[in-house]
Amino acid sequence: MLNLTPEQLLTTSRSARKRFDFQRPVDLEVIRECIESALSTPSNLPLPTWQFVVITDPDKKDKFAQLYRRAWDNHYRNLPNSIYTYTPDNEEARLTQQQLIESLEYLRDHLQQMPVLVIPCYAGRVDSSSNMNTLMTSPYGASLPAVWNFIQAARSRGLECAWTTSHLFLEQEAARLLKIPYEKMTQCCLLPLAYPIGVEFKTTSRKNIDEVIHLNGW
């Protein structure tokens, strides 16, 4: 376990994709501990229906990485609000965009080299009939707290992790590859995991707090 305070853990969750150590193996027991931690998160059901697909087989990872790249190039890249289509309004934002694209593409190109890929799933399919449904009973509202616990448990054990979603453009094909029952289970994201090269934890850069806080009303 790393010696990080809760505050350090929560403010340094950058996706440091270029620091993944592809050579160092990740013990399955560590992944089991992270899933244990995920299971103790708030839940909308007494017995939550989360499932975690853990991929370590090189051939499966290779096929999955090909799928991820196809999803990225054929779908994500063309989205109206993707990082490629966003137009920065100053030089600093343009540099940030450039760095982020390089980092995202690095992961896209090296996904098969990650020691472990984890896909958290939730029983049911998305039903967006109402906002309440989406937040309370949808696969995302009910399972993303568990995903976040999993990520922080992994980070506190020294693992680096990136939150990704691009393969979901081809979710059905990924389900066939991994024998996930698509009609019954929603894949929430893909979490590639590896130990980092070096132990430098940088804080994330986000908006200034005064731009997002609304005291006693908007």
Ligand X SMILES: Cc1cc2nc3c(=O)[nH]c(=O)nc-3n(C[C@H](O)[C@H](O)[C@H](O)COP(=O)(O)O)c2cc1C
Name the site residues for ligand X (rule: CB under 6 A).
Answer: 14-15, 100, 104, 107, 162-166, 204
Q: How far is the CB of 149 from ligand X (least distance, A)?
A: 15
Of residues 35 and 189, the one with the C-beta less far from ligand X: 189
Q: How far is the CB of 162 from ligand X (least distance, A)?
A: 5
Rg of the chain (C-alpha set):
18
Q: Identify the burial level of 164 via C-beta atoms within 10 angstroms of its C-beta, where 0-12 means exposed, 13-18 middle and 19 or more buried.
A: buried
206 Cβ neighbours under 8 A, 6+ residues apart: none
Of residues 32 and 74, the one with the C-beta less far from ligand X: 74
Q: How far is the CB of 48 from ligand X (least distance, A)?
A: 20
Q: Tokens at residue 58, please?
A: 């090189």
Q: Any idea how long the chain is?
A: 218
Q: How far is the CB of 166 from ligand X (least distance, A)?
A: 4
Of residues 14 and 60, the one with the C-beta less far from ligand X: 14
In whole angstroms, what is the distance from residue 102 CA to residue 82 CA? 14
Of residues 112 and 164, the one with the C-beta less far from ligand X: 164
Q: How far is the CB of 29 from ligand X (least distance, A)?
A: 26
Asked if residue 38 lies in contact with residue 153, where contact means CB atoms within 8 angstroms, the answer is: yes
State phi, psi for 20 to the nearest 5 degrees: -65, 130
Query: Using CA of residue 167, residue 170, residue 171, residue 176, what is the dihedral sign?
Result: negative
Of residues 179 and 206, the one with the C-beta less far from ligand X: 206
